[in-house]
Structures are given as structure tokens and as C-alpha cells.
Structure 1
Amino acid sequence: MNQPHFQDLDHGITLIDAQVVRHGLAASYLIVENGRAAFVETGTSHSVPVLLEVLEHKGLSREQVDYVIPTHVHLDHAGGAGTLMAQLPNARLVIHPRGARHMIDPSRLIAGATAVYGEAVMARDFGTILPIPEDRVIQAGDGDSVSLGGRELVFLDTPGHALHHFCVVDEKGRGIYTGDTFGIAYRELDTERGAFVYPTTTPVQFDPEALHASVDRLVAQGLDYMYLTHFGRVGGESLGRLQTEQHEMIEEFLALGRAHRRDGEGRHQALCDGMMALFVKRLAAHGCRLPESRIRELLAMDVELNVQGLEVWLDKQPAG
């Protein structure tokens, strides 16, 4: 067996590269406590063999997995949930109440994602999306918890990126599995200052005020780390800086959107150009030494999706 792409952290946590689109883009976390296991995030159906390989590599059976926990139903986080659950006979899916119906019947989820990505990309990048039997689904509201071998995992409702988003507080792991709420950090952009983390405003439920509040709520839990889906663990002394930069960039996105709100047919491209320029400028200040062409390559997809979400938000704003 080839060694799968994973990194053992501490506190029984393993970071797994779910290999969505490319290496280092999307993570799944395997938590093990007293012989019981849980996956936080699943990646896509293409990711499932990798997750199962890590489980086997660590000497765990599929029967030892108690929970599969996507932070929200976007396909890079939950697209593989049905396929993974089919391989784990004792597991239950834990999901935000607003997302449960999309896991039980994913037809609307598939249609919505196809509208964003197109059929060819859907098939290539996300694969098959299987339904999950309702009796295997746990809906976790704000403050609810589950016990993994005696280890408490607590769910916080964290809107802003999506209304169906929760984050998972793991006190024994000294951190929070943040999904997309605390932003994105591609580790190729790390410098001596640490990670470069930016907000994600993917369509269609971006709410800047809610996102500001959710970012602050996560930091207010007083833990050491944020376990990002995109990508890896951040925190320590840099947590305050990352929190401040999230707030700054949310406001910069809004200012960019307002500046181009009435640009007509050229609005989308103007917003893409403006957001990319913002990132290039911030990365220079961060000390990033990658060529600008590489920066643009790494961020192109996220800029496109961020702008789509920003435009949905703009079009909801009252005239004036």
C-alpha cells in the first residue's frame, strides 16, 4: 500500500489531504479517541478511498467509525458523505439542521452545484453524490454535542459563509474545525509571518455581518487552533492577527463590491480583477515571494467563486 497523504497532529487528530482538485486544497480530519473514530469533512466521493486508506493505515476498522461530520453541505466538504457512509456500517452523519434534507435527498444540492460549476466539472471534480438514509442522520443545533469515546464535540451555529454551517469545538484537540467560517489558507502562501488566511464568500448565502460575528465567536472560545478545511491547522500566537485580517478583508470585499455595483456587463470581470489585485497586494505585504503568476494560478478559482458570492450579496442590497 502506498502511504496516503496525511499528517498526524497531536491529541489523536490526523490531517488528511482529501485530494479535491489538487493536493493541499481540501482536508478531512480523522479524530480517534479510545478506539472510536470520526471524520470531520469528507471531501468528494473521489476522496473516499483516501480516507478509508488512512483508516486502514492506522489500524482502525470501518466499524470503529461512529460519526461523519461535514461542517456544511458544499460539495468539497460533504460531497463524499453518502459514499463514505455506505462504507461505515456503524457511523451516523452529524449535520446542521438546515443541511440535513440535502444529505437525505441531494437532488437540489446537485442541481445547484451544477448551475455553478457545469456538468463536466461536476463529474470530473465531485463524482457521484449518494443519499443518506434519514435514520442515520443526526441534526446538531447550536450548543448540541456528541461523545466520541468520551471526547465531547460541541457544535456552534456559524452563519456568514452559509446558513447551513456549523463549526465543531474539540476542547481535547485545543481547537475548532472551522469549515469555511475562518477562511482559507493555501500553505504555498505561508511565509515567516505564518499563514495567509482570507475569507470565502462563495455563493449563495454570504452574509458579511454574520461572518464577522462568527469569526469573533470562534476566537472567543479561547482555544489554541483553528483546523481549516482549506487547509490545515493554524493558530497559536498568530490567531489574533488572522482574526483581524479576516475582518479587514471582509470589509475590503464589500468596498470593492460597492465600487463596481453599477458596472453593468463589465461588473464581474472588474470585481475579479479588483479582488485578485487585493490579494496580490496583501501577499506582498505578507512577505510572499512566489511569482505573481503562481499566486494568480493558486487563487483563480477562489476569486471567481468569491466574486460570484459577492455579486449575489450585492444584488440583494436595497437600491440607493
Structure 2
Amino acid sequence: MRTMGKKPLKLDERIWLIDNFDMQMGQRTGTYVIDEEELTLVETGPSPSVKHVKAGLSELGFSLEKVKYIIVTHVHLDHAGGAGLLLRDCPNAVVVVHPRGERHLADPKKLAAGARGVYGDSFEELFEPIVAIPKERLLVKTEGDTLQIGTDTILQFLDTPGHAKHHFSIYDPVSNGIFTGDTVGIRYEKLIHSGVDFYLPTTSPNHFDPKAMKHSIDRVKRMNVDRIYFGHFGMTEDVSLALDQVERWLNLFVAEGEKVFAQGKGYDELANRMLQEVQHHLRDQGIADDHDIYVIINLDMQISALGIMDFLQKNNGKH
């Protein structure tokens, strides 16, 4: 798969991917467009990404009036923060959300406060405005629920915690693919361009749970899907490779976190150790330390280390 410019990427005859340019970075987050009788979007990105979603839909020839469903895998702001803003211009749409996420989209104050604590002074630039969604325009789906978006297309919802408690994944039977948000990790598109398939878990605070994440990974493994559609970023058909990598790095990162916790050190020490492990691995793959992927990976290690240390503090250093 290759991403060129700002045009939506065609994954097959019915699914497209719009680059959200989250944090003004390409290939960071994306919005999937499923071209069915009921036009369906998966993820919106944060509010500053909404202009890119609109431009992408226009490029594909879809009016905002045609959008019927906006599905968010979970309510973290880099995936769902723009849902309220986008919904204002999609008069016929509803937002589909996990039951644990519904109240946060209806009243996002607590969600915003949590993100502000992580992102600090960068919060406004990255996420504002965060628009509340009227409850009548929220549609809750949970484990085992379905959503018919076409005559022969019925999406299926799976509760997949680990990254967040308010997280579901969406199985698409037509492509035998699954939209996994953040539960089974991150795909680094920029490294794909350099010839390296690379996937890492994302363990951000404050719901990270390694056992739940492993269970979700194992569940996707057992489904024998042909594709994973990642929230960050893009689609892979190398499903086993992706899931095995994420599980291996998850075990390594948590084990390293336990050592750091036992030594009485902080998340910054863990982030540095995690980064060193990644750099060592990528050097062996021919990736230089000054590759621009590290703009993203540095941030990911900081946030993931926060989540691991938060989990260990809540559980006395053990998982």
C-alpha cells in the first residue's frame, strides 16, 4: 500500500482511506470511507483533521449529506475528537460509539481534561474545538451487535479492550477485514516506504491493561481475517506478522516497565529504554537513527510509557 499526496487512497472497490494529517503529519491517522448504500466513515481524527476529511469526501464525489454513519472505535481525541464538529455538517448522520464512550461524546469535558493533562500546552492546537454530540445522534453498539450498511453488508461489533475500556472493533465480512482502532497496535506507514513492516502496541493512559490487550490480539488472531485496518495508519494483509510483532513488543515493553517501576524510576526512563530497544531493532533493518519516523515514534514511546507506568502504579508494579 502506498500513500501519495493528499488524495484518498483506494484500498479496494468500496473502501478508501483519507489521511487526517493529525499533528500536521501525514500517515499518522486516517478516516476510512466505506462506499455502500449507507455511506459509512470509520474514525474522524481530531477536530483539526475534519477539513481533510471533508476535502477527501469531496475528492471522492460524496456530499456530506450522503454520510449516514460515523463510527469511532473509541473516544480518544485523535480518533473521535472531530466527530462532533464533522457531524454539524452531516445532517443525515449518526455517530456510532461503544457504550462506555457515549457519555464522553455527549459531554466531552472530562475527556478533554484528561487529554489536556497528557498534552499540556499543545492541547488547543492539537484538539480544539471539541464539540458535544446530542444524545439523539449517538448510536450505541456493543459486543455482538450489527449494523446493516448495504443490502449484503452487515458490520459486526466486537468489544476489544486493552488500549481503552471504551473500545470496539468492527468486522467487515465483505473484505474479511477488521477495523481495530488502537487495540492491536500501530502500523508505521513511513517505514513501509523504506521496506520495513513495523508494528508496535499503543499503551496510552489511563485504561491500558496488558492482559485485556493480549486477549483482544488473540481474538483477532482466531478470526483469521485477511486484513487489518489500523487507526494509525493504513491497512495490512500481513495479519499474522502484524499481530505477532505487536504481541512481542507488548511483552517486552511491559517487562521493561516492571524493571523501571521496581527501580523507583519514572516514565521518562521507561520511554528512553523503549526507544533504545526500537532503535536497535530498526538499525538491524537498515533504518538510520535520523529517519523522520522518529518524530512519531518518540511521541508514541512517551505516551505509551505513561500508560504502562500508570497501569503498574495502579497494580503495585505487577500485571
TM-score with structure 1 length normalisation? 0.92
Q: 1:91 aligns with which of 90, 93, 96?
A: 93
Q: Which amino acid aligns with 1:215?
A: I
Q: Which amino acid aligns with 1:258?
A: E
Match runs of 1:4-153 below 5 Å: 4-21=6-23, 22-34=25-37, 36-118=38-120, 120-150=121-151, 151-153=153-155
Residue 304 (structure 2) aligns with: 306
Q: Contact between 2:8 and 2:59, CA under 8 Å: does it hold in 1?
A: no
Q: Which runs of 4+ in 1 moved over 6 A?
A: none
CA distance in 2, matches of 1:157, 1:240: 21
Match runs of 1:253-264 below 5 Å: 253-264=253-264
Q: Secondary structure at the match of 1:177?
A: strand
Q: Which amino acid aligns with 2:275?
A: M
Q: Which amino acid aligns with 2:140?
A: Q
Instruction: Flag the 1:15–1:288 CA change in 2: closer, same or farther, 3 A.
Output: farther
CA distance in 1, matches of 2:286, 2:172: 32
Q: Contact between 2:268 and 2:302, CA under 8 Å: does it hold in 1?
A: no
Deviations 1:220-246 (A, max 9, x none): 2222110011110012xx322222222
CA distance in 2, matches of 1:51, 1:268: 34
Shift of residue 5 of structure 1? 3.4
Greater mean deviation of Cα atoms: 224-233 or 142-151: 142-151
Shift of residue 219 of structure 1? 2.3
CA distance in 2, matches of 1:279, 1:97: 35
Shift of residue 191 of structure 1? 6.7
CA distance in 2, matches of 1:10, 1:293: 30
Q: Contact between 2:279 and 2:289, CA under 8 Å: does it hold in 1?
A: no
Deviations 1:197-254 (A, max 9, x none): 010000011111110110111122222110011110012xx32222222221111011
Q: Contact between 1:190 and 1:288, CA under 8 Å: does it hold in 2?
A: no
Residue 251 (structure 1) aligns with: 251
Q: Which amino acid aligns with 2:258?
A: R
CA distance in 1, matches of 2:162, 2:216: 7
Greater mean deviation of Cα atoms: 56-65 or 75-84: 56-65
* Gap regions ≥5 residues in structure 2: none
CA distance in 1, matches of 2:191, 2:301: 15
Shift of residue 293 of structure 1? 5.8
Q: Which amino acid aligns with 1:247?
A: E
Q: Contact between 2:155 and 2:171, CA under 8 Å: does it hold in 1?
A: yes
Q: Which amino acid aligns with 2:139?
A: I
Shift of residue 137 of structure 1? 0.6
Shift of residue 69 of structure 1? 0.5
Q: Which amino acid aligns with 1:25?
A: R
Deviations 1:262-281 (A, max 9, x none): 333x4223211110011112
CA distance in 2, matches of 1:251, 1:319: 14
How much is the aligned-residue C-alpha RMSD, in angstroms? 1.8
TM-score with structure 2 length normalisation? 0.93
Residue 239 (structure 1) aligns with: 239
Q: Contact between 1:189 and 1:288, CA under 8 Å: does it hold in 2?
A: no
Shift of residue 308 of structure 1? 0.3
Instruction: Flag the 1:297–1:319 CA change in 2: closer, same or farther, 3 A.
Output: closer
Q: Secondary structure at the match of 2:187?
A: coil
Shift of residue 282 of structure 1? 2.3
Residue 226 (structure 2) aligns with: 224
CA distance in 2, matches of 1:298, 1:75: 17
CA distance in 1, matches of 2:40, 2:195: 32
Q: Contact between 1:13 and 1:29, CA under 8 Å: does it hold in 2?
A: yes
Q: Secondary structure at the match of 1:219?
A: helix
Shift of residue 292 of structure 1? 4.4
Deviations 1:64-106 (A, max 9, x none): 1110011000001000000011110110110000000000111
CA distance in 2, matches of 1:294, 1:55: 29
Shift of residue 195 of structure 1? 2.0
CA distance in 1, matches of 2:96, 2:39: 13
Q: Contact between 1:13 and 1:173, CA under 8 Å: does it hold in 2?
A: no
* Gap regions ≥5 residues in structure 1: none
Total equivalences in the alignment: 312
Q: Contact between 1:276 and 1:296, CA under 8 Å: does it hold in 2?
A: no
Q: Secondary structure at the match of 1:260?
A: helix
Q: Contact between 1:160 and 1:208, CA under 8 Å: does it hold in 2?
A: yes
CA distance in 2, matches of 1:256, 1:130: 38
Q: Contact between 2:147 and 2:156, CA under 8 Å: does it hold in 1?
A: yes
Q: Secondary structure at the match of 1:226?
A: strand
